[in-house]
Amino acid sequence: MRRILRGMLLALFLLTFISSTTAQAAGLLLPAPAVRAYLFWSNGCPHCETVLLETLPPLQEAYRDQLDIQLIELVTLEDVNEFYAMFTTFGLSKEQTNVPLLLINDTPLVGAEQIAQELPGLISQYLTSGGIPLPALPAVHAALLGRAVPFTSFDPSTLIQAEEQTAFSGYWLGWGVMLLLVLALLVVGVAMGRAFQGKPLQHFKGWLDLAIPLLSVIGLVVALYLTYVEATSARAICGPVGDCNAVQSSPYAKLFGFLPVGLLGAIGYIAMLAAWGWQRWRSDRLARLAGALLFAMALFGTVFSIYLTYLELFVIHAVCIWCLTSAVLMALLVLLTLPAATQWLAASDEELA
């Protein structure tokens, strides 16, 4: 009897030991909890470089296999438009949606600063609760999401090469145009001061006068092309200088979120052509005011071009050769129309009647 009891106890002990060992082995085979997220970025974006080179590497080193960041690079204008459409479902407007954007669970972190501040805490929080999978996004974005690559396979040298290329991507030209615009305003200021003292500039004659409609027609063609690009989201022909598609796909390409900047420019150039023609072929009171009106429109265009060029250099971090061309045209037009404005300022009330 004792032998039977001993055998039963031994069998029970062996079963307990085997089940415990099996459970431990099974526990070792279970994957550790992991946090998975998407990072949307674009090459040439300095804030994206900050995230890729400074924020993510120490986190990846600390968490290793427990952190899986999938990178999605926005390359084409179609990518950018799909990116905007994707995050409207998260309550973000087009102006609020920008790269770098990290989507973790259902929380979008926009910008290098927010990612650096909030991502470490979210990783720790989600690991404590057992980890999270990649965010579930609509199937319509499957093609874009299918291009995702893990951060662990990211090659930083691609960013270094991009920095070398963007050194000649038109910033020097943008700064040159900004300098031209500012100099044009300085000339305007000096000429206006002399006009108030009764010393107006002399009217331009011959081909310089004809340069006004010629430059306006060129500007109208540029503005209409930009209107087409902004209204249809078509990919612009940029040439070797700058990245006009980055500019045209930015939120600043439309005023108030709906009015294409190119359309505003086209309206302005048409109005300038009309004012020049009225001044040249009519002799009524409006014709005598047309020169000053023409200058006022060119002056507004010059100031607005300074604002747009500032956005390209300091906010968008890309320049558009079409936009810079329009800015140069406005600077030339404000100088060509300046004599008529000074003549109008220096004229007496009787002369203007």
Looking at residue 251, which CATH number applies to its domain? 1.20.1440.130
Looking at residue 51, which CATH number applies to its domain? 3.40.30.10
Residue 187 shares a structural domain with residue 335: yes
Domain-embedded: residue 130: yes
7-16, 43-52, 140-149, 209-218: the lowest-pLDDT one: 7-16
Residue 232 shares a structural domain with residue 135: no
Interval 48-71 mean pLDDT:
92
Domain that holds residue 209: 168-352
* Structural domain ending residue among the three candidates 129, 164, 199: 164
Domain-embedded: residue 19: no
Domain-embedded: residue 215: yes
Residue 236 shares a structural domain with residue 307: yes
The domain total for the chain is 2
Given this model, what pLDDT does residue 322 score? 92
With H, G, I as helix, E, B as strand and everything else as coil, classify residue 208.
helix
Given this model, what pLDDT does residue 240 score? 67
Domain-embedded: residue 111: yes
Residue 62 shares a structural domain with residue 186: no
* Structural domain ending residue among the three candidates 121, 147, 164: 164
Residue 172 shares a structural domain with residue 306: yes
What is the four-CA torsion angle of 165, 170, 175, 179, rounded to 10 degrees?
150
Residue 255 shares a structural domain with residue 287: yes
| pLDDT greater than 80 at residue 311 | yes
Residue 175 shares a structural domain with residue 122: no
Residue 131 shares a structural domain with residue 217: no
Contact yes or no for 335/187 (Cβ under 8 A):
yes
Residue 263 shares a structural domain with residue 185: yes
Residue 83 shares a structural domain with residue 219: no
Tens digits of residue pLDDT in 150-179: 999 988 877 655 444 544 457 888 999 999
Residue 57's nearest CA partner among 161, 163, 151 is: 151
Residue 178's nearest CA partner among 75, 312, 14 is: 312
Residue 110 shares a structural domain with residue 159: yes
Look up residue 90 and give its two tokens.
């998260």
Domain-embedded: residue 6: no
Domain-embedded: residue 64: yes
Give dist(CA 319, CA 329) in Å, integer. Answer: 16
Tens digits of residue pLDDT in 239-267: 667 777 778 877 888 887 788 899 999 99
Give dist(CA 305, CA 180) in Å, integer. Answer: 11
Q: How confident is the model at residue 9 (pLDDT cuts 50, 70, 90)?
A: low
Domain-embedded: residue 192: yes
114-123, 199-208, 307-316: the lowest-pLDDT one: 199-208
Rounded to 5°, angle at Cα 89 from 84 and 93: 50
Given this model, what pLDDT does residue 287 score? 74
DSSP designation for 203: P
Residue 191 shares a structural domain with residue 47: no
Domain-embedded: residue 13: no
Query: Hey, which residues does 39 pair with through a beta bridge?
Result: 71, 102
Look up residue 176 and give its two tokens.
């040159």
Query: Hey, which residues does 336 pair with through a beta bridge?
Result: none
Given this model, what pLDDT does residue 90 score? 86
| pLDDT greater than 80 at residue 43 | no
Hunting for tokens 């060029």 — which residue is that?
Answer: 309
Interval 105-118 mean pLDDT:
92
* Structural domain ending residue among the three candidates 141, 164, 187: 164
Given this model, what pLDDT does residue 25 score? 45
